[in-house]
Copies of this chain bind each other. A is one copy, B any other.
């Protein structure tokens, strides 16, 4: 590993677009959650695919580790490079390259954020639905296989990335997928790179599937007597085949946090936030059916937000929930759990989580989640230097994961592996994890792409 040799060559290629300023290194070495600072040796700001290819070739020549960086909203330390090396910041590759309205696709560079994309699409009548809350880049979202509030209806990044351009570990440029909506031609390399967290290649271009902006959107909040009743309502709604666009759970602690942060006055009870997309008739019909199911579970008469500004306020509140929760304890760090279980086990998983959390001193930890997918988050807070509580948070997260795996679920529904979930890979995947290691060895034999992440350590 000759990182300094790489930096010399990278400087010749990029000039001022290679940065070693302390502030830049710190920005690219920090984590959104609880992982310690781990700065890279330099940050590159490429302008195009060809430069990314040349950067990778230089790094390959010098065995210099390389990690991609979008806007740094990942929650498991995915972009932190613990070996030293180069952070490739895609913020200057942020062009929307083409919109194909008839094909309902868009082709973008990886540094475009989801909000910028939807702003640009607004006039076309189309939108990109995947919505993890944070204004992440599309390259980052693809790399972590992100999802969020709308996955229950529109799917995750797995379902909405149609084609990719990727720079491989040797600095070659390949394309996966086509502009056709489906294909039976060969291995699904697009799906292989989505969720690979930059360990198999650097994504330099994405073709994404768009959806028609629905004619009518109805959003609502509905309070329930207990989390269990709210979850039962969700499973019944799914059973009915009601096509919900979003269905989100917020427990009492979450509601208290957003009430304070977003100046709302929601009743201090567990809530579901729901959204229906459709025609005027179908959206209101769905809402009515949902109302009947909710009532059976003690749900309150729900509060509708049909005006766009009210809906925006509602989902802005939901999206700011993480910051609202952090604001309840200024200066604290957080660990956000992310298990996902089969819907049939969701209710008991949340109940068990609540009891585990209480036992470990986190009885006030807010729980919220994308319950239509069986995915929920608890936010566990601790002071920066309180290692005891930090360790207890890690222990609490560990118990949640153990239960999820016992129920045939996954350690991470949408936040990915990064540094935080490596310890569960063997247990979750068994022999398949070794296969992942073999694929990595094949596509990145020098182990320069985000080393130490996702696959078994090499001997």
Contacts and interface: CB of A to CB of B under 8 A. Distances in A.
A430 B163 CA distance: 14
A182 B155 CA distance: 9
B182 A340 contact: yes
Interface string A399-421: 00000100111111111110001
Interface stretch (A277-285, A313-321, A380-388): A277-285
Contact of A188 (B173, B195, B241, B441): B195
Contact of A184 (B145, B155, B285): B145
Given A182-B156, A188-B195, A438 B443 contact: yes
Interface in A158-182: 158-159, 168, 172-176, 178-182
Given A100-B344, A103-B344, A238-B104, A411 B185 contact: yes
Interface string A183-218: 111111101101110001000000000011111000
For chain A, which range describes its interface: under 10, 10 to 19, 20 to 34, or 35 or more residues? Answer: 35 or more
A305 interface: no
B409 A180 contact: yes
A199 B387 CA distance: 50
Nearest to A408: B179
B342 A100 contact: yes
Contacts of A96: none
Given A279-B282, A435-B174, A442-B441, A414 B182 contact: yes
Contacts of A3: none
25 contacts: A102-B235, A145-B188, A146-B184, A151-B182, A158-B182, A172-B431, A173-B431, A175-B431, A176-B432, A179-B341, A180-B404, A180-B413, A181-B342, A181-B375, A183-B413, A185-B410, A185-B411, A185-B412, A185-B416, A186-B195, A186-B428, A186-B433, A186-B436, A187-B196, A281-B281
List the 8 shortest-distance A-B pairs measured between CB atoms, nearest first.
A212-B241, A191-B191, A179-B408, A102-B344, A183-B410, A282-B282, A174-B431, A180-B340
Given A101-B239, A439-B439, 13 more contacts: A100-B342, A102-B344, A174-B430, A179-B342, A181-B374, A181-B375, A184-B414, A184-B416, A186-B195, A192-B192, A215-B241, A278-B282, A438-B443
